[in-house]
Amino acid sequence: MYKIALFLSFTLLSTACNINSDEDPEKNDNPEVPGTIYGSSTISLDEAYSSFKTSLESNDQIGIVAEVDHSQNAASINKELGPTKIIFFGNPSLGTPLMQENQLAGLDLPQKVLFYENKDQVFALYNSTDYLASRHALGEVESLNQISAALENLVGDAIKSDLESSISKSVTASEGIVTVTSSQDFESTYQSLQSIISGNDNLSIMAELDHRANAQSKGLELRPTKIIIFGNPNLGTPLMQESQTIGLDLPQKILVWEDANGAVHLSYNDPAFLKLRHEINGSDEVIQQITDALQNISNGAAGN
């Protein structure tokens, strides 16, 4: 588990992959997730994933934060799920400016790419920078274009295919984000959050990221901002069985941040928002369980 995450920065490659807006009518199982970029791999999932990971490891500006094998986690609880893996990675040089503009951007960072196989077709899927800019009101932060171009190259090279934009649907500022204000200071809030999660036998912590410390490592300033990534296969697996793409937004994450006035907040993705984003039509009971759990965890950490 990584205590300090490296945010997103890439050395841009000289030739960018093309992102095509037109859908191939013969591909009926293409992911239709608003705000994402995807590609259909011409090689196997293991080959594509390994190639992508190798590219990250070969760039000294990039650090791999965590890797989660969703299908392996499903098997650990005797449930079936097609091959589904996600990798988190980054560098603070380009990510910090996003959080300097709006700390809530840290909820969708570090960057991540989901690799999954559906009906013998392998896909790579990630959030577009347009989605990040809209959801977090980032305006025209300069590093957004650099992040976009780098992801196109890295993912496109890994799957040996061009990339495409998924369906276009606008997202408003802070849409799908639940925020709870804490009655405690920053460190007490975070320690309470960590203790609540680690003390629950049903939950596993995948990574803890100190965005502020990462920023400082690059000589950049950022108010206190930490995120904890954790999951429960018993609740996440049924959702991915219905729609593998929700693996892009799993495991769950809670961001703890201190605003300019010194107030401390906890923010997380609303499960109802994720249900709509990934077109999950059933699993209402599971969605409610996750909603209740996130509320209880956040309120407990906030001292409410």
Residue 11 is assigned to a structural domain of this protein: no
Residue 199 is assigned to a structural domain of this protein: yes
Residue 2 is assigned to a structural domain of this protein: no
- 83-123 tens-digit pLDDT: 999 999 988 999 999 999 999 999 999 999 999 999 999 99
Residue 98 is assigned to a structural domain of this protein: yes
Contact call for residues 72 and 194 (beta carbons, < 8 A): no
Residue 10 is assigned to a structural domain of this protein: no
Number of domains in the chain: 1
**SS3 state at 69:** strand
Residue 4 is assigned to a structural domain of this protein: no
Residue 247 is assigned to a structural domain of this protein: yes
CATH number of the domain to which 34 belongs: 3.30.310.70
Residue 12 is assigned to a structural domain of this protein: no
* Exposure of 13 in the CB half-sphere (CA atoms within 13 A): 16
What is the residue range of 175's domain?
22-302
The model scores a pTM over 0.75: yes
One-letter amino acid of 23? E
* pLDDT at position 14: 35
One-letter amino acid of 262? G
For the chain, how big is the Rg over CA atoms in Å? Answer: 18
CA distance 250 to 253: 8
191-195: long-range pairs with CB below 8 Å, 24+: 192/300, 192/301, 192/302, 192/303, 193/228, 193/254, 193/256, 193/266, 193/297, 193/298, 193/301, 194/228
pLDDT 10s digit of each residue in the chain, 304 long? 333 333 333 333 333 444 554 444 444 589 999 999 999 999 999 999 999 999 999 999 899 999 999 999 999 999 999 999 999 998 899 999 999 999 999 999 999 999 999 999 999 999 999 999 999 999 989 999 999 999 999 999 999 999 999 977 789 999 999 999 999 999 999 999 999 999 999 999 999 999 999 999 999 999 999 999 999 999 999 999 999 999 999 999 999 999 999 999 999 999 999 999 999 998 999 999 999 999 999 999 999 8
